[in-house]
Amino acid sequence: MTAKMTGISADDLQNFEETPCILTLRDGEIRGIERDSVRIFKGVPFAAAPVGDLRFRPPQRPTPWSGVREADEYGPAPMQGGLSGTASLAYLGAPRSEDCLYLNVWAPAAPGPHPVLVWIFGGSNQTGSASFPLFDGAVFARRGIVCVTISYRVGVYGFLELGEVLGADYRGSSENGLRDIVAALEWVQENIAAFGGDPARVTAGGESAGGMNICSLMAAPAARDLFQSAIVQSGGEVVASLEEANAVARIFNEGLLEAGGVASDLLAMPAEEITTLQSRLLDGRPRSFRGVFGGDLIPVRPLDAIAQGASSQVRLLIGTNRDESIMFIPATDPTGPQISNADLAANDPVFNRYAPRFAGLSPLEQRVRFMTARDFWRSSSQIALARARQGAAETYVYRFDQTAATGAWAGRAVHAAELPYVWNALDAPSAVAFLTGQADAGRRRLGAEICDRWANFIHGHPPDADGALPWPCFDRDHAVLLFDEKVRLEPLDEAELELWT
């Protein structure tokens, strides 16, 4: 399908340097803009609004529209609470609503077909937004890539298992957030050619919960052939059994009953009240909202499925950050016994093995290393090793060690710190204020290099960059590329992995 260009006044061109652009999609026509050789379309529905009778239900196709739909504003962010202040409009880039199943596209104006990046935001499956200001897809469009940022339901709306609470009709509701992602990937297969994208060259990329959700979908038969490559940043396997998901639902239902309600109230209760209840009951409970295995969508635990060959045809770039977990350690008592609602020494024998193995580290550093391994590094490494053993498509493994220059996390490579580098957006206010501090010339060079490496991977090439250290496949020597002031290669620390066996 081809774009049709509409007229625009000379004054508008002078003021905005934008040209309207109309595309014909499966469900109707949309009008976006072309600016600086990038076509931009925002707020495009990929599924019906999950409201009313569709609350807690799997995503449905949107209703086709007549006329031309304007695609010049982001769709709403998913309904969510104020976890760590992240529900602010400045952070999310859009207001919140249950009606959130929209995506955004940045495409090169040059003819395709171009490879495609589908980006899945993180946020513990509890918060986040496809309109987060850092995720400006123009940076990839200028590298010859069609970039799509997608939304999905988070928290109770997408990950609460209501089969026991509301009956058999709602069994599998904990899969709805992942099913939203599948629906977006299916939309890409049907529509991305209209933007100049190649549906046979799709990379699913995501960070934190976004990366974890990609790992879950690597074990989902319904997602097979929807993406040919994957980028997993600070993800790995983080899932729940159906029994664990039911336990979370019971906590939520008991809180509802204590408040004088009944389970069926959830079907008509205002979304703000549901979100308030979620915040009161579950915000302090770690990882309440995870992909659930053992159901229709993910029959087998993802790591087991990957070890058995699931998604072996998918190219994979995967890695973690050196100090991921420092931001989750209470500043008031960083070396105390309690962390993430668990007494480490009493409840996790693996933690007791870290002190002798890393005797040269302070108690705090041992804790950071342990928690980073527990929550991110271990399963990411296990996925890479499993793929190497069964001869899967090429896998590339990294660790991000570049520390923040200034600010609260100066001297640390914390969770999400790689994002401004991947998106080559070190001057973005969110990056400067929270993740990277003021960037110097060396950090700017590293940002350009990392963005170029990711882009080359999305294009189907090795993730190398001009003049930079070549990045070998992991299966050769289990080599890990470390991003720091000096990019270098080191072998995977398999001795640390053995602490977990």
Residues with a known catalytic role: 208, 324, 415
Q: For residues 84 and 324, give the distance between their C-alpha atoms in angstroms, rounded to a whole number.
A: 17
**End-to-end Cα, the chain, rounded Å:** 53
| E strand map for 274-430 | 291-293, 315-321, 338-339, 342-343, 395-400
Single-letter amino acid, residue 10:
A
| Residue from 36, 6, 8, 1 nearest 21 by CA | 6
3-state secondary structure of 9: coil
For residue 388, give every residue at least 6 positions away whose Cβ sits within 8 Å of its Cβ, in sequence order, or none: 395, 474, 475, 478
Residue 389's φ and ψ, nearest 5 degrees, are -65, -35
| DSSP state string for 65-115 | -SSEEE-BSPPPEEP---GGGTTSHHHHSS-EES---EEEEEEESS-S-EE
3-state secondary structure of 459: coil
Q: Which residues pair with 343 in a beta bridge?
A: 338
